Amino acid sequence: MPAPPAGPAPDEGAAPRPLGETGIFACAHARRLAWLCAALLLLSAVALNLRVLNYGFLYLRDDDVNVTLNPHMGGIDMARLKWMFTDWSYVRRYIPLGWLNFSATYEVAGLDPHPYHAVALTLYAVNACLVLANVVLALRLFTPRGRSGGLTSWDVGAAAMAAGWWAFHPFRVETTAWISGNLYGQSMALFLACLAAYLRSCLASGLRRAAWLVLSATAYAASLLTYPVALGAPLLLVGLDWLNVRRGSGPSFRRLLAEKAAFVLPVAAVLSVTIAARFGNTEVFGAVPDLRELPLSHRIAQSAYVAAYYIWKPWWPLHLSPLYDTLMEFRPLGPPFVASMALVAAASALALYWFRRRPAFAVVWFGYLALAAPFFGLTEKPHMASDRYAYFLTALMACVLAAALARVRGPRARVCAALLSLAAIGVLGRLTWRQLEVWSDDRLQHAYVAAHLTNAELLDDFNSRLQILEFMRGNEKAASEAVAARLARNPSGQGFLKAAAIIADKRRLSAYYGPVCLLAILQDQMGLMFAKQGRLREANDHFEDALRMDERFYQAAYDRAFVLLGLGRCDDALRSFLLSERWASPALTRAQERAFLGQLERAAQNGENPALAAAARSALAR
């Protein structure tokens, strides 16, 4: 008797069931494998990037503006919280939760760069796991096999390999190795949490679904308040809703659109403040270019170039740099820009043509454009397609890559696909290791960038920055000679004129400070500013940083001694005073000595240290 025809294999997927009837995984083995892959991804990603913990601050690369020389930065208090949530003039963005990140780290670390890098590494590791979670949920919701019975072990492996591609990609280096990149890392973590919660709401109903939606909207608002880069996310969510409704699951499309108000309102608020900040703060950041400076044709070409760049560059990640000059000066009809416009136009036309037959392509493509739009640089000249912008866009590509791998059938084909994927991840890891070196030191990075620039104006500016940095670090003679020689050849170079002005200012300061490096002097001045404001903890941190740069900086040691007295640390204050007395040239005046000893006596008495108070009184009497 002939055997009855076999039903569809569990791996192939039959008719879709309502989403609430099944979990995420088809079996316990797939679930365990997902947790194992998450653990391996986390450990391997951290191991690859662990050396960033030994990196320092990058001066002239925004770390000074955001943290070390930020006059508003310090521990968390009400005055600082008020500044965070009411100011949008210090930088071009409204980023209160980004400032809160730095301030919370400062509360623990002061001006020690290593904890800031630990935060960056933690955010990167969290984001790698969140990418895996989002890829898993996307496969569960939008692939036939995932919808019919949950994810199989191969689906989980496909998701893990795609997440590994994202995590090991050298595009991650900028945000992992750069302290100011914490803004992007935190914004990305909150956006990925938003997306994961939203996808999870598609698998729930009733109050549980409402809770996931509230969590998603809250995380999205927090992402925008950290750094407003995921502004196009509501359009992507609408596309995902449309895919779900087409497959006959979940609430009606009209209701889903109404729910997007929770996502659109934060976008409208943050975007309004961001635009106002950009157009209103022209003294610091320059005016927004008008149509004569940046014509419409150039804006279109630039937008198309950026959109196309983040499509092809992730698959050819060679010659990466912290800064690119392609968009400094360009012709809209140049070959790269014509090719980019053709690619964007062709993909958009295909997405519209296949709108009903291949809706997923339309959702991915237009969702990608919506996420990429904030990086088009429509209000900036010059603009740069930075590596950090790919943080968000390549997460979407990881979902597409996972979907492609999940479609591979047959044991041999899957083995080949897995081996090729792991080999590619290994190559990316090697490229990441090399790219990390570029971010290890500010001098090394400026030299690297200058060596890879071709635009004469930008190259001149970056060479001047390199000399400014050398001068600020204390290599004053060589930097001054280099600036003088460059101005002799080109007296109108703006970057080197700025460098010459800084050198002249330092010479005036040297009349008081002597041969101390400029960075240490700037930290001493920050310390004095905070001391006058009564912010003694922050003042001490800056004096301490100045002394780390130059241990013989006796003025900083003397100023710090008074701050330490105010903090009740009499023994440390005495040591700092003795250090200033040791290195002072000329010697401290008797008035300076008496000023300190008098305060030391009073502080020691208040601190119930009669022996120290008596010693200070005896020294005053001599």
pLDDT tens digits for 227-283? 999 999 999 999 999 998 887 767 899 999 999 999 999 999 999 998 888 887 776
Which pLDDT value is given to residue 93? 87
Q: The tokens 């994202």 sit on which residue?
A: 166
Indicate the class that CATH gives domain 518-621: mainly alpha
Query: What pLDDT is attached to residue 476?
Result: 93
Query: What value does the mean pLDDT take over residues 111-116?
Result: 96
* Mean pLDDT of the 172-180 span: 96
Q: How confident is the model at residue 284 (pLDDT cuts 50, 70, 90)?
A: low
Kindly list the domain boundaries of the chain, sorted by start residue: 295-380, 455-513, 518-621
Measuring CA to CA, which residue among 457, 458, 477 is closest to residue 467? 477
pLDDT bucket at 380, cuts 50 / 70 / 90: confident
Cα 612 from Cα 570, distance rounded (Å):
8
- Residue 13: which pLDDT band, with cuts at 50, 70 and 90? very low
Structure confidence at residue 480 (pLDDT)? 94
Helix (H, G, I), strand (E, B) or coil at 302: helix
Instruction: Report which of residues 198 and 88 the model is more confident about.
Output: 198
d(CA 589, CA 461) in angstroms, rounded, equals 44
Q: Minimum mean pLDDT among 4-8, 497-501, 583-587: which range?
A: 4-8
Give the residue with greater pLDDT, 585 vs 341: 341
| 151 SS3 class | strand
Least confident of 23-27, 54-58, 449-453, 570-574: 449-453
Q: How confident is the model at residue 521 (pLDDT cuts 50, 70, 90)?
A: very high
Looking up tokens 């060679």, which residue turns up? 318
Rounded mean pLDDT of 514-521? 93
pLDDT tens-digit map of 207-221: 999 999 999 999 999
pLDDT tens across 309-364, in order?
Answer: 999 999 999 999 999 999 998 999 999 999 999 999 999 999 999 988 899 999 99
8 Å CB contact between 115 and 167:
no
Q: List, in sequence order, the alpha helices (H) in 281-407.
A: 282-285, 296-312, 335-353, 359-372, 390-406
Give 16's pLDDT tier (boundaries 50, 70, 90).
Answer: very low
Confidence of residue 586 (pLDDT cuts 50, 70, 90): confident
pLDDT beyond 60 at 9: no
Contact status, residue 372 vs residue 306, Cβ threshold 8 Å: yes
Backbone angles phi, psi at 25, to 5 degrees: -110, 150
Cα–Cα dist 128/337, whole Å: 33
pLDDT tens for 142-174 read 998 888 889 999 999 999 999 999 999 999 999
* % of the chain beyond a pLDDT of 70: 96
* Tokens 């955001």, residue located: 66
Q: Can you give the pLDDT at residue 461?
A: 87
Q: Is pLDDT of 135 > 90?
A: yes
Q: What is d(CA 32, CA 38) in angstroms, rounded to the nearest whole number?
A: 10
d(CA 593, CA 577): 9
Does residue 6 register a pLDDT over 80? no
What pLDDT is stored for residue 22 in this prediction? 53
User: Residue 300 is encoded by which pair of tokens?
Assistant: 């279109």
Dihedral of the CA atoms 471, 473, 477, 481 (nearest 10)? -30
Residue 537's pLDDT band (boundaries 50, 70, 90)?
Answer: very high
pTM: 0.92
User: Given this model, what pLDDT does residue 10 score?
Assistant: 41
The pLDDT of residue 12 is 39
What is the pLDDT confidence band of residue 21, given thresholds at 50, 70 and 90? very low
| pLDDT given for residue 138 in this prediction | 96
pLDDT digits (tens, 9 = 90+) for 588-620: 999 999 999 999 989 998 887 888 888 888 888
Q: Is the pLDDT of residue 11 over 70?
A: no
> Residue 65 pLDDT more than 70?
yes
If you search the block for the tokens 């809770």, which residue do you land on?
A: 211
DSSP for 337-349, written as a single string = HHHHHHHHHHHHH
Q: What residues contact 279, with CB distance under 8 A and at least 6 apart?
A: 288
- The set of residues, in sequence order, having a beta carbon less than 8 Å from that of 374 and lying 6+ positions away, is 228, 229, 230, 231, 232
Q: Write down the mean pLDDT value for the chain.
A: 92
Report angle CA 269, 274, 277 to the nearest 5 degrees.
125
Q: What's the confidence (pLDDT) of residue 522?
A: 95
